Amino acid sequence: MIRELNMFGRRKKRVYLDWAAATPLLPEAKAAMLPFLSGDFGNPSAIHKEGSVARQAVEGARDKVARTFKVRPEFITFTSGGTEANNIAILGSIKKLVESGSEYCDLEVVTTKIEHPSVSRAFDELESLGVKVKYVAVDETGLINLTALRELLSAKTALVSVSYINSEIGTIQKLHAIKKVLKEAEEVYGNSILFHVDAAQAPLWVNCQFDTTQADYLALDAAKCCGPKGVGVLVQSRRAAVSPVTFGGGQEAGLRPGTENVAGVVGAAVALEAAQADWKSRQETISLVRDQAIKYLLAEVPEALINGAFGADRVANNINISLPLYDTEFMAVVLDKHGFAVSTKSACSGAGGGESAVVKEISADPSRAASTLRITSGSDTTLKDLQRLTAVLRKHLDKMSAYIK
């Protein structure tokens, strides 16, 4: 919890409910980072003792991440965040195919229209290069229609990309079922279909080990699981190859040139390990809080519409609602004044107003898409916290209802 002074000089408790955007730094991660922010400041590419200490720290972090996700260390690439990890996987995999003799115009890729901007805009770039981008339908909860996916695949399909957990509505995709469809298509058409999974929102709440996700490319973001901001990880399978999309030195096997953020990767490795070590107990505890909070919210605020899935298909910490006719951007400001930090959509979608592309896609309702609130809890969030938020929300809605009648 964050505490600050109110207008009377007394301490008031703030409740942070925007864990999908950023998470607090794990104390153990901070402790591991501190030496590399002061005394051990060497460049890991240097050949002297200081550089060697830094290099050992980076490679130790790589080994730790590899053990956490059950892959070999050489399949781990440190990046500047989930956005860069997604871009390297999507753009780099297609570039590799083109360098191997394919033409952009002969390649097809498949994704959905509810992806994070770091994925959707990478596909826009591929489309501008001549790649055919196909969009698979999702149902009203955000789950991929497997029949529709099967019908989109062909001998030209090179890559399929989905998010493990949707950053706005919290829907958990059924990766095993998707992978099964891809394997069946590979047998039918005789080509390899690479599978990219944006798992930025996943490590705290679900199993992300590589044999579970069955991804060829798994993109992670330390800032979403109590690690430092500005550090991501790209995990690759044995068959997955990429070409660099940025250029400079030979760091990270040439895929991510530039001096490694030593403190950042060390902290990221600790945070990712801790996230995956306790994901199941964390999920079980917070999902109970979420379910009780949704029940209470719908009873107190019956005009609220829940966006996304229910139960096991929804990540434990996510509540996403629409309040058609109400200004939820203003509502988020009001909640902030009362000590609750929430958002309306993905922080990477940009600040200010505008509709949620995700909610518009699953609902086909512009008014619903323009009136969303995203409430994402943390491991210390209580039912009482969410009930207090509901009370503030109810009071605000009662006040505003006079202006919309």
Domains of the chain: 2-17+280-404 (3.90.1150.10), 29-277 (3.40.640.10)
As given in the structure block, the two tokens for residue 323 are 């309040």
pLDDT for 168 equals 97
pLDDT for 303 equals 95
The pLDDT tens digits along the chain (405 residues) read 444 443 334 345 899 999 999 999 999 999 999 999 988 888 887 889 888 899 999 999 999 999 999 999 999 999 999 999 999 999 999 999 999 999 999 999 999 999 999 999 999 999 999 999 999 999 999 999 999 999 999 999 999 999 999 999 999 999 999 999 999 999 999 999 999 999 999 999 999 998 899 999 999 999 999 999 999 999 999 999 999 898 888 888 888 888 899 999 999 999 999 999 999 999 999 999 999 999 999 999 999 999 999 889 999 999 999 999 999 999 999 999 999 999 997 555 554 557 899 999 999 999 999 999 999 999 999 999 999 999 999 999 999 887 665
Q: What is the distance between the alpha carbons of residues 85 and 217, in angstroms, rounded to a whole number?
A: 9
Which contiguous run of DSSP H or E holds residue 189? helix 175-189
Nearest to 362 by CA among 308, 317, 304: 308
pLDDT for 4 equals 47
pTM equals: 0.93
pLDDT for 1 equals 46
pLDDT for 327 equals 93
pLDDT for 13 equals 85
Catalytic residue among 105, 208, 225, 348: 348
Q: What is the distance between the alpha carbons of residues 332 and 362, in angstroms, rounded to a whole number?
A: 23
Where does residue 284 fall: left (phi above 0), alpha (psi -120 to 50 degrees), or beta otherwise?
A: alpha
- Max CA-CA distance within the chain? 72
Nearest to 358 by CA among 180, 117, 154: 117
Residue 226 designated active-site: no
